[in-house]
Every structure is written in structure tokens, then in C-alpha cells.
A = this chain, B = another copy of it.
Amino acid sequence: MKPALDRFFSVIPAGGVGSRLWPLSRADAPKFLHDLTGSGSTLLRATWDRLAPIGGDQRIMVVTGRAHRAAVESQLPGLADENIVLEADPRESTVAIALAAAILVRRDPDVIIGSFAADHVISGDRLFRSAVSEAVHAADAGYIAAIGITPTEPAVGFGYIKVAEELNITDAPSAHAVECFVEKPDLARAQEYLADGGYLWNAAMFITRADVLLEELGRTEPELRAAIVELAAAWDDPATRGPAVDRIWPTLKKIAIDYSVAEPAAAAGRLAVIPGAFKWDDVGDFASLAKLNTGGAGGDLAILGENARVLADASSGIVVSETDRVISLIGVKNIVVVDTPDALLVTTSEHAQRVKSVVDALKISGRNDLL
């Protein structure tokens, strides 16, 4: 068998719209196709650039919606045709990741896959690669390895992983067992977790042998696993893929990988966690986007948008400009202004999570043109 790192294959599920970033994120311009850090790269491209040095361009698979094929291919010219998996419609993370696993395990039975969201922001590439490397070795030892992020503040927007004993895995010295997953806490709990030191943020990064992932899925969702394996068997032959998708896709259950695999595996003692000391953010809403772009300094105003023209006086928060209009802010603190050609959002950091309710209201009123 080849060394573990040579069997590693990255999977990038690029599915979510990012409703809490409306009206910047839209069905046809989801979060992962935006540059949210002013780096000049979309989040998807930055994810690719972070993973390509690990296994090379030929060992990255992207799972995305059919509607995003052209945008994804244009962002990732190095993406091989056989490594883009197009979803007939969105089916949540279990289908995206397990289908990739099932396709890849047919190409290489010993493949180790790592799944990394297309729309998170990470800095500290060396630390990231070091954590992935340890996770690959833990995966090679039979674990499903999560990379958990060392908390730097009492965040209430993330789930947590409670760390248990050291696992003493060769070449994965910081791998620990996982006691359990914890849902997003309130502030008091988040402060406890931070003080305790034994909790990591769940960054939804899972590294595992593909066969182990499918085996775990089979324990909790045997029908879903069977359907995915059947679909994967038809995938690589153009003659069989279409009919299989038509037949099987509509039956696939929508369930997050945390519930179908990660939490049950943790409970069964088959989950390892590697602490990641790199900076990570899932950019879940405009409050975190503001923080990310001001370095967390509350009095600063972040300005995103290539052609942004902002006149600000005694104002802080974030302006996202997708038009060429002049935007004047006077005396507004922690403000969120998102200016797009057909929709304008004005809120504050405090209410950033409620943006989703606007999206829901637009859905209900049939304003799909704005979604």
C-alpha cells in the first residue's frame, strides 16, 4: 500500500448559498463564489489553493450544483472533468461527501478523503497542512479524524467538540479521542468551554478512509448508504450515470454529516480530533464578516467591493458594495450595509443572524428573483 499521504484526496462540497449573507449571496452567486476578504480570490479558489499543495490538482474533487458548473470550472481551471460531481439538486452534506467517497473508493479502495467546506476562511496554511497531515495519519489508523479549531474567544456561533484522551497515533501526535459534539452554546457556556481548554470549534473538516466513512454511514443510514453506493457504481460510465441519477437522486435523504456520521462515530469511539491552531472562520453572517475584515477591532469600518466608494464619518461595521454608488455613512455604529443592484440591506452586527428571516420572507412572498 502507498504511504497514507499519497492516498489522500480532497473533497470540496460547494453547495450552500449562505442565506445569512443575503443580498450578497444569492442562489446564482453563492457565498463560495465571493471574495469575502479582499484577497482577490473567491472563497472556493482560496480553498483550492490551500488544498492543491497537499495532493496536487489531480486529487481534488468538487461537489456542486449543476447551476454552478460554469462558475466553478472558471474558478478552478485545474479541476479534472472526472473530479467535478454535479448534484441534480441540493441534498445536504452527507450525500455530497459520501457520494464523493463512494466514487473515489471505486477508483482506489485505499483512498483517504478529507472534506473541506468551499466557503470558509482560513489563514496559516502551514499550520493547516500540518493538521491535515496528522489527520490523514489518524484516518490511516482507522479513525474518522476531525480537525477542531482551538478557540480564541467564547464564540456562540459555532458547535464545539469536547476532547477526550490522547490516542498516541504514529505521526499524529496531537490526535485525541472525542467525548462528544456540543451544539452552539449560549455565551455563559461558551465562556466555560473557553476557560476549560478542553473544547475545540467544530469546523466541519473530516478526514477518513472512504471505506470507513461508508461503513459508519451504513450503521446509521443503511438505505442512504446503499443508494449512494449504487449511484457511485454507475457514476464513472457516461452511459449509466444519467439514468442512475434520475432514478436514485430523488430518493436521497437530506441529512448533515454531523448527524449521520460524525456524532455516532464519536459515540462509538471511532472519531479522533486534531487541534488546529490556524485561524478559521465560517463567515456565517455579516457580523463575522465585519470582524474578519477589521481584525476584530470594533471601532473600524470594513469596506468590501472592488468599486466601493464610501464616505464614512464616525461609523463602524461593514459596507459591502456591489454597485458604483457613493455610500455615505454618518454616525452609525456596528452598521451592516450591503448594497447590490436590486436589493439593499441595512442592519447591525447584533442582528446579523436575523438576515435569514428576510430571505425566508422573500421566499414566502415569491420573490425568487431576489434570492
Contact = CB atoms under 8 A, between A and B. Distances in A.
A344 B314 CA distance: 17
Interface stretch (A132-140, A227-235, A350-358): A350-358
Contact of A346 (B314, B327, B351, B355): B327
A354 B313 CA distance: 9
Contacts of A238: none
Contacts of A344: 325-328, 337, 339, 344
Interface residues of A, number: 33
State the oligomeric state as a number of copies.
2
A311 interface: yes
A371 to B, nearest CB: 11
A75 interface: no
A370 interface: yes
A332 B334 CA distance: 11
B367 A348 contact: no
A361 interface: yes
Contacts of A41: none
A254 to B, nearest CB: 28
Contacts of A350: 331
Given A311-B361, A325-B341, A326-B370, 13 more contacts: A23-B326, A325-B342, A326-B342, A326-B343, A326-B344, A328-B344, A328-B347, A329-B346, A329-B347, A330-B347, A330-B348, A330-B358, A331-B351
25 contacts: A23-B326, A311-B358, A313-B354, A313-B357, A314-B351, A325-B341, A325-B342, A325-B343, A326-B344, A326-B367, A327-B343, A328-B343, A328-B345, A328-B346, A328-B358, A330-B351, A330-B354, A330-B355, A330-B358, A331-B351, A332-B346, A332-B347, A335-B346, A339-B344, A344-B344
Give 6 nearest A-B pairs by CB, closest first.
A331-B351, A330-B347, A326-B343, A330-B351, A328-B358, A327-B344
Interface of A: 23, 311, 313-314, 325-332, 335, 337, 339, 341-348, 350-351, 354-355, 357-358, 361-362, 367, 370
